[in-house]
Amino acid sequence: MQPPLNVAGIRIGVARAGIKYPDRRDLVVIEAVAGSQVAAVFTQNAFCAAPVTVAKRHLAVVAPRYLVINTGNANAGTGAQGLTDAEATCRALAGLAGCRPEEVLPYSTGVIGEPLPVERLVVGLPAALAALQPDGWTEAAHGIMTTDTRPKWASRRFTLKGRDVTVTGIAKGAGMICPNMATMLAFVATDALVDPATLQHVLHEAVAESFNAITVDGDTSTNDALTLLATGQSGATVPTQGEDYARFAETVREVCIDLAQAIIRDGEGATKFITVQVNGGQDIAECRQVAYTIAHSPLVKTAFFASDPNWGRILAAVGRAGLTDLDLERVAIHLDDVCIVRAGCRAPDYTEAQGQAVMARPDITIRVELGRGAAAARIWTTDFSFDYVRINAEYRT
């Protein structure tokens, strides 16, 4: 895996604050050069974490100069004290960095419902600031991990108006993944010059086809956050439309897809990477409805773990997805290139051996043809294994 590319105007520092475990990288500070623009999306979970609330407040005041991320504690379900602790974190970093507290955005991930050990976090901040460097992306990718088994990063570089433009991102997440905005935590930066409205539009477009198209277990976290920074240090300006805009938007989308897929490949206990492609819907919403019904079915997911071509479970999931007036004779279902269901029932030429051959693969595509329109949607998911149960049963022990 190629190392992440540095982004001009971004420095990153990582420290060991002992927030949950001793001698573990658990505190990350990202510094953006003055004048940087930011776009962000956050969880829609009603029990959003304190740092999410504080970050939203600060974004409404001024563009950030610093992001501070801690692992080991989500600071969620912590009430008024959680908000106080998140604000205290911002004040402490602002005092050390010489900026306003509102110019700091806090992010947390870890166990829900326990008080944030803010004293340890604050003590670790000087070390994180002292470690600031342009090539801190790899260390940061490690520093934001919780149940992840490997760090996740992605980079792209392209030419815009004769200047090189870089887009780099890191993400964390392996469980409690069913975003309704982004993912557990993700941070993307570019050295392009982009106005705030355009940057936010680009982010929303990218999220729809990446972080909002993945699920491990159907659970949306309290802490989900995705932040996109644009430093402008390359000198290349992104227009609001046209070919150059499209090239930039596509590059951001590619980085986000890489990170989102990395989360699925590292899903807790996952042994299969499953693409669910639904075609022929009346609109995208119903295609996604069918796709998520399949992806969230424990019966479907455990069959994939067992490499069992129990195609009836997929058929049943499509049938209970809630589509009105579904014409069963128009429905077809494929496992990779093998048609398992045609005209609403088992395909006459399908054999168990064909299904078994596909199910033994590590990467599998379920393709559903609804035959009722021109819309399509695609999501990515995992199987459910013994290890998924073990990891989540032992999470707090």
Query: What are the C-alpha distances in Å from 156 to residues 100, 120, 164, 169, 379?
Result: 32, 36, 10, 9, 22
Q: Is 331 exposed, middle or buried (0-12, 13-18, 19+ CB in 10 A)?
A: buried
Parallel, antiparallel, or unpaired: how do β-strands 185-190 and 10-15 relate?
Answer: unpaired
Percent of the chain at pLDDT > 70 equals: 98
* pLDDT computed for residue 120 by the predictor: 97
pLDDT tens-digit profile of 116-149?
A: 999 999 999 999 999 999 999 999 999 999 889 9
Q: Report yes or no: 280 and 367 within 8 Å, Cβ to Cβ.
A: no
Residue 181 pLDDT greater than 60, yes or no: no
Instruction: Give the residue, 181 or 82, on which the prediction is more confident.
Output: 82
pLDDT band at 192 (very low <50, low <70, confident <90, very high): very high
Q: Region 286-297: what's the mean pLDDT?
A: 96
Residue 382 pLDDT greater than 90, yes or no: yes
Instruction: Give the residue, 101 or 396, on which the prediction is more confident.
Output: 101
* pLDDT computed for residue 52 by the predictor: 96
Q: Report yes or no: 177 and 382 within 8 Å, Cβ to Cβ.
A: no
Residue located via tokens 């459910």: 384
Angle CA 164–169–174, to nearest 5: 160
3-class secondary structure, 22: coil
Let me know how long the chain is. Answer: 397
Residue 334 pLDDT greater than 60, yes or no: yes
pLDDT tens-digit profile of 294-306?
A: 999 999 999 999 9
Whole-structure pTM value: 0.94
User: Containing H/E element for 85?
Assistant: helix 79-97
Q: Which positions are annotated as active-site residues? A: 183
pLDDT tens-digit profile of 196-246?
A: 999 999 999 999 999 999 988 877 788 889 999 999 999 999 999 999 999
Write down all domains in the chain, each with its CATH number in brackets. Answer: 10-265 (3.60.70.12), 273-393 (3.10.20.340)
pLDDT band at 397 (very low <50, low <70, confident <90, very high): low
Residue 179 pLDDT greater than 70, yes or no: no
* pLDDT computed for residue 169 by the predictor: 98
